[in-house]
Amino acid sequence: MPINQPSNQIKLTNVSLVRMKKGKKRFEIACYQNKVQDWRSNVEKDIDEVLQIPQVFLNVSKGQVAPNDDLQKSFGTTNQDKIVMEILQKGEIQLSEKERQAKGSQIQAEVLQIISTKCINPRNKKRYPPTMIQKALAELKLNIVTTKAAKTQALEAIRALVSAQIIPIVRAKMRIKITLESKEAKKLSERLMPLLGDIDSEDSGRFHEVISLIDPVNYRELVELIDNNKNGSIEVLDMAVIDEISENTNS
């Protein structure tokens, strides 16, 4: 439904509200849909493309403009431009029902895709399709929300799925390459080897180079171990190793 601004009867369509509570008052600004995030990520630099009206409101839908006394008490200034910029940068975006549904669907698709990419069935070394993962999450009563990043939710969901084993599922191995001076590799061998899995190749000279599969949970510890050595390096060759023969045979 269009929002009317009573002072001049301008109809605001495709409006997206940004709201901020400051002190005991709530303030709002009217923006164009999908433009606030563009502004915050510096994709959009023209403020006129973001703001429908360069005005601070107590209630946009009722056309209640914020009085100067309220602005002064809450923001310490009556400068509309300055206050608008603060609300635009720090305020909470109020999505319409349609926007919420679209964002929810987008984040859910991202979460399911991340899980599908990072996990496999340990019996056949194949990925699960997102639809099967979605059913497993539903059984766990694990809901995907729009207020948290997709990657964060995906990692949380993976831990829950691996723990519950509603379907046989594990994190896919990572393939990494570690390069160290040979003398340093010998020193670190006792700490290094337990963190590695199947070794694809190993070569020693002045430098010791090893390509290995690892459990993703060991990656951070390996990075910390290697980073303490000036001439050492760790490189991710494959974030999630899938059995390619199995994938091709069953595709």
| Residue where one domain finishes, among candidates 171, 204, 222 | 171
Q: What pairing do the DSSP bridges indicate for beta strands 207-214 and 199-204?
A: antiparallel
83 and 138 share one domain: no
88 and 102 share one domain: no
Specify the pLDDT at position 219: 85
Alpha-carbon 92 to chain mean position: 18
83 and 112 share one domain: no
62 and 90 share one domain: yes
11 and 76 share one domain: yes
Are 155 and 213 in contact, with CB atoms under 8 Å apart?
no
What CATH number does residue 7 fall under? Answer: 3.30.1250.10
What CATH number does residue 185 fall under? Answer: 3.30.70.240
What CATH number does residue 110 fall under? Answer: 1.10.10.900
Reduce the DSSP state of residue 133 to 3 states and report it: helix
182 and 151 share one domain: no
139 and 212 share one domain: no
Domain residue limits at 214: 174-250
Q: How far apart are CA 251 and CA 248, in angstroms?
A: 5
Specify the pLDDT at position 72: 93
Buried b (16+ CB within 10 A) or exposed e, 44-70: beeeeebbbbebbbeebeebebbeeeb
Specify the pLDDT at position 74: 92
154 and 180 share one domain: no
81 and 10 share one domain: yes
Specify the pLDDT at position 209: 87
User: Which neighbouring-strand residues pair with 22?
Assistant: 25
pLDDT tens, the chain, 251 aa long:
444 444 444 456 677 889 999 888 999 999 987 788 888 888 888 999 999 999 999 998 888 999 999 999 999 999 999 999 999 999 888 876 677 788 788 899 999 999 998 898 988 888 899 999 999 999 999 888 887 888 899 999 999 999 999 999 998 888 889 888 888 878 888 888 888 877 888 777 788 888 888 888 888 888 888 877 767 888 888 877 775 434 444 44
Judge if pTM exceeds 0.95.
no
Q: How far apart are CA 85 and CA 78, in angstroms?
A: 13
| Residue where one domain finishes, among candidates 171, 195, 222 | 171
Q: How far apart are CA 163 and CA 66, in angstroms?
A: 52
Q: How far apart are CA 235 and CA 180, in angstroms?
A: 12
Q: How far apart are CA 88 and CA 94, in angstroms?
A: 12
108 and 140 share one domain: yes
| Residue where one domain finishes, among candidates 171, 186, 219 | 171
Q: What is the CB-side half-sphere exposure of residue 171 using CA atoms within 13 A?
A: 19
Q: How far apart are CA 187 and CA 247, in angstroms?
A: 39
Query: How many domains would you assign to the chain?
Result: 3
User: Which neighbouring-strand residues pair with 234?
Assistant: 178
181 and 243 share one domain: yes
151 and 234 share one domain: no
Specify the pLDDT at position 93: 83
